[in-house]
Amino acid sequence: MRSRDDAKGLQAAMRAHCMRRDQCCVLSGRCEDVVLKCSHVLTPEYGAKWFAEELDRGDFLCSFPTVAGRYLPAFDIKNGVIMSADLHESFDAFRFSIWPRDNKFFVHLFYPVTGLRHGQEVTTPHILPNGPTPNYFRDLFPEPEVFLAHFAQAVLFNMRGAGEAYIPSNDSGDYTDDDIFANLSEDLQFHWWDSEQELARKIVRRDQLRRSCARYQYEVEQA
């Protein structure tokens, strides 16, 4: 019960601070409070795991808000954006993701979503040119790496679905196990200069490697 109450309190605080930063839906521009939700870029369950996997991922957070001395990385305001309720639902369902490029953010559609277009720019917090800290609100917006983690989830989710979603690829993606193990020195790191297609290819390739290695390990243990 305690953890559930903590999550509710943190969610409310996260929404309040994200509303102060974003002021409207970052996709549609709607500003009626009744339709706006605070969307986690990475869900609380996945975010808790993802932020803990590597120490330097703490640099993507601002350790705020806290409620009664309680803080959870997945409820950090740098893991949240304001969206209208319908777009929040589509985002959580991986019908679209957000793609960072050159200090801007763009919509990447996997399925048609009413009110969105592929390549549409996401509204980011205003710069305050006359303030003592002009980038105050902009610096509290989620980092590109966090959006890329959601993009990776979306690619794999849609790849494993019914096969109807658009999954960008530079090749056929038909890898055998021999091919997967043939060249482990290939560059599968995510780079800011990677295109959406190249990043999607790397995401799929890394997942294939991971699952093949897990299957190989299982077969060795069973031998």
Q: State the pTM of this model.
A: 0.78
And the tokens for 56? 């330097």
Q: Are 38 and 14 in contact (CB under 8 A)?
A: yes
Question: For the chain, what percent of residues have pLDDT higher than 90?
Answer: 65
| Token couple for 153 | 């989830």
Which amino acid is present at 202?
A: K
Element housing 221 (H / E): helix 196-222
Counting other chains too, the contacts that 159-162 makes at CB distance below 8 Å and 24 or more residues apart are 159/204, 159/207
| Model pLDDT, residue 72 | 96
Token reading at 45: 């369950």
Q: Which residues of the chain have pLDDT under 70?
A: 1-2, 161-188, 190-193, 211-223
